[in-house]
Chain A
Amino acid sequence: MAEEVSRKPYVREMTYRWIFRHPRYLRYMAREFSCLFIGGWTLLMVWGLKQLAEGPAAWAAFLECLKSPASIVFHVLALGFATYHSITWFNLTPKALPLQIGEAFVPDAVIAGAHYAAWALLSLVLLKLAGAY
């Protein structure tokens, strides 16, 4: 990321403290930290696949591990952060994919709203097919 420069560059001291200077920065960091939870959960699933490959007993042990208090706390946090990632991602979609019809741009709320609707529908279908309800 840093460009190579000749001679002596001025390196401004940089710490994490700027995060707390404005609520907006804190929300940005909450969004960025969602990656730790999504990543942690995905790695947990990789481990789950290993257990699945080892047979029914190993899989049962994996399901048992999911019941531990630490796992429940992690899952609740992961669900919160994953949902926050979805909300921020869909709110940014109109910026990434502006849609123009004729002269006018489709309003941001319509593009984001369409994504929210698709997300809700997809989640309900997925949970239904998975037999969650």
Chain B
Amino acid sequence: MARSNKPIVWGPFAAGGTLTAFLTPALVTLTLLAGLGHVPDVLAYERLHAIAAHWLGKAALITVIFLSLWSVAHRLRITLYDIGVRADTGVAVAVYSAAGLASIAAAVFLFRL
């Protein structure tokens, strides 16, 4: 039987796609409101710091960030292939690494809190 790494790549993509579908519009609304001068309570320094300092908050944030970035990376890879970029292996390495590195960076910042 042919072995494929597709499920490993596709699993987090599906999870991230579902998570972003449910959460991202509301989350973007929060930072948009902050930009318009109406800062939601949760974005006040003390509130957000308390959430991010708690282990449950850290786990939630890192899960959302990693799954979002992974699904974005996977979709970007497919899109680049669709618009004619045929160097798929290079693209795959680049986008998945970028998603992984940004997630690690987020984890480092979270543990510095």
Contact = CB atoms under 8 A, between A and B. Distances in A.
Interface of A: 1-2, 11, 14-16, 19, 29, 32-36, 38-39, 41-46, 49-50, 52-53, 56, 59-60, 63, 66-68, 71-72, 75-76, 78-79, 82-83, 85-86, 89-90, 96, 118-119, 122-123, 126-127, 129-132
B40 A56 contact: no
Given A2-B88, A39-B69, A82-B20, A46 B25 contact: no
Contact of A130 (B42, B82, B84): B42
Nearest to B68: A42
Interface of B: 14, 17-18, 20-43, 45, 48-49, 52, 61, 65, 68-69, 71-73, 75-76, 78-79, 81-84, 86, 88, 102, 105-106, 109-110, 112-113
Contacts of A119: 21-22
B16 to A, nearest CB: 9
The 7 tightest CB contacts between A and B, nearest first, are: A131-B41, A39-B72, A16-B83, A66-B35, A35-B75, A89-B21, A130-B42
B22 A132 contact: no
A12 B2 CA distance: 26
A82 B24 contact: yes
Nearest to A127: B26
Contacts of A131: 40-42
B29 A132 contact: yes
16 contacts: A14-B84, A14-B86, A15-B83, A45-B65, A59-B45, A60-B45, A66-B34, A66-B35, A67-B35, A82-B20, A82-B25, A83-B25, A89-B17, A122-B26, A123-B29, A132-B33
A126 B26 contact: yes
B48 A52 contact: yes
B23 A122 contact: yes
Q: Which of B61, B75, B113 has the most CB of A within 10 A?
A: B75
A129 B42 contact: yes
A71 B68 contact: no
B30 A56 contact: no
A122 B52 CA distance: 21
Contacts of A96: 14
Contacts of A56: 45
Given A42-B65, A126-B23, A130-B43, 4 more contacts: A39-B69, A43-B102, A45-B106, A50-B105
